[in-house]
Copies of this chain bind each other. A is one copy, B any other.
Amino acid sequence: MTPRGTGPYGAGDMREVVIGLLGAGNVGGGVARILQENQADIERRLGASVRVKKILVRNLERTRDATMPRALLTTDPREVLEDPEIRIVVELMGGIEPALTMILEALSRSKHVVTANKALMATHGKVLFAEAQRRGVAINFEAAVAGGIPILRALREGLASDRIERITGIVNGTCNYILDAMSRTGATYADALKDAQAAGFAEADPTLDVGGGDAAQKLSLLTLLAFGLRVDPAAIATEGITRVRSFDIAAADALGYVFKSLAEARQTPEGPALSVHPMLVPKEHILATVRGSYNAVLVESRAMGRSLYHGRGAGPMPTGMAVVSDIIELCRHIFAFDAGRPPPEAFSTIVEAVPRPTSDEAHENYLCVHVTNVPGILGRVASCLGRHEVSVKRLEQDLHGAGQAVDMVVVTERVPEARVRAAVAEIDGLDEVTGPTHRFRIREPDTIE
């Protein structure tokens, strides 16, 4: 970090945190890309820049994109681990070794560590945390569980003062994708797995995912952060989804349930109750709405009640984002209470803004037109709408006797605010209209899936 403690800094002497990456696969590439593409945003939020100095790779000759220039690459881990300028080491190799040895080496040199390695954290967390604590540095691993949801951060900070009673997670995107596909299409498990593999949502060897082992590792990390309990993933009652047949899916559907693979941790007087199981979930349950490869974690705690975190679980970009968020958090810590600490409002420069006028917003609209039911009124209302190019998607009219007041409900196509306002003003001026038209906007039907 150079220079340091002499802020406030102009553009010319912006503070800098130097980092090194171990591994340049999918997630490593995502991290490099995010750091480069969002450089301006990150500098704006942090009041400092993040520079990648070295990237450990297996093969120097492989073609890589422009975010990983040849000059940064090395096959010698010491160039990352022993460089005194590098403050944060980001481990993205996966697997136990050599990741474990390299992270311990980084910590022993008082470097902070960010990792996405859930298997390593779930099985060797104890020795890693102990070494980090001894050296007074941090080890961040938000990306290890449900990358697209900052759930570890929420458990560590947002819910830090509450007593958590139960956590239920849909934490394996492959399982959820397969079960969801079986529900929607009636496909067999084997066919849904093949589809998931073709779509990139399942590995060629899917055992760790569909067997529940991946979810058990994540549950072990969630249990650590929620309850301060360390549990060996191998000790968790774990059941995969391979037993679930199309027949079961259909029978569950008829009974009002959908299948979900749930990872659950509860505190009980007899100790923690932990399990990973495919379960039938009532369709009206909030966890039943989690579609495709999305993840969700439902937290039940004493004071807050139920809170749900829902988002994309895996993939290079969500995982890369979680890694970069961990890096940014460490930079904030590094700068904390230096002169020129990062801004309290999350951005180092705030722009004063005025909202744009809403007249060019476009929505579908619900109109309730109050009319006297006389012949021709429908046509006159339709003409007003037509003159302002407001297309009608649906029209419902409760017909009573002629001359009686009725409510005519119109659903419009997506149309700019100004046009629908003008049309409504004209409608409200018609003789047969008995009061101001009720109008509400309709939210577009984007579901999460």
Contact = CB atoms under 8 A, between A and B. Distances in A.
A381 interface: no
A128 to B, nearest CB: 8
Nearest to A260: B443
Contacts of A161: 34-35, 38, 41-42, 321, 324-325, 327-328
Contacts of A274: 355
Interface in A217-256: 223-225, 228-232, 235-237, 243-245, 247-248, 251-252, 254-255
A37 to B, nearest CB: 9
Given A42-B161, A154-B153, A248-B438, A307 B303 contact: no
Contact of A321 (B254, B272, B303, B333): B303
Given A150-B158, A159-B150, A160-B328, A441 B345 contact: no
Q: Which of A34, A155, A355, A366 has the most CB of B within 10 A?
A: A355
Nearest to A33: B303
Interface residues of A, number: 132
Contact of A304 (B44, B148, B153, B332): B148
A447 interface: yes
A203 interface: no
Nearest to A318: B304
A224 B136 contact: no
Nearest to A142: B158
A216 to B, nearest CB: 10
A63 B276 CA distance: 49
Interface stretch (A11-19, A78-86, A95-103, A283-291): A283-291
Interface string A307-335: 11111100001101110110111001100
Given A237-B358, A307-B309, 6 more contacts: A38-B161, A41-B163, A136-B341, A150-B153, A247-B407, A303-B320
By Cβ-Cβ distance, the 4 closest A-B pairs, closest first, are: A150-B158, A307-B311, A228-B347, A161-B324
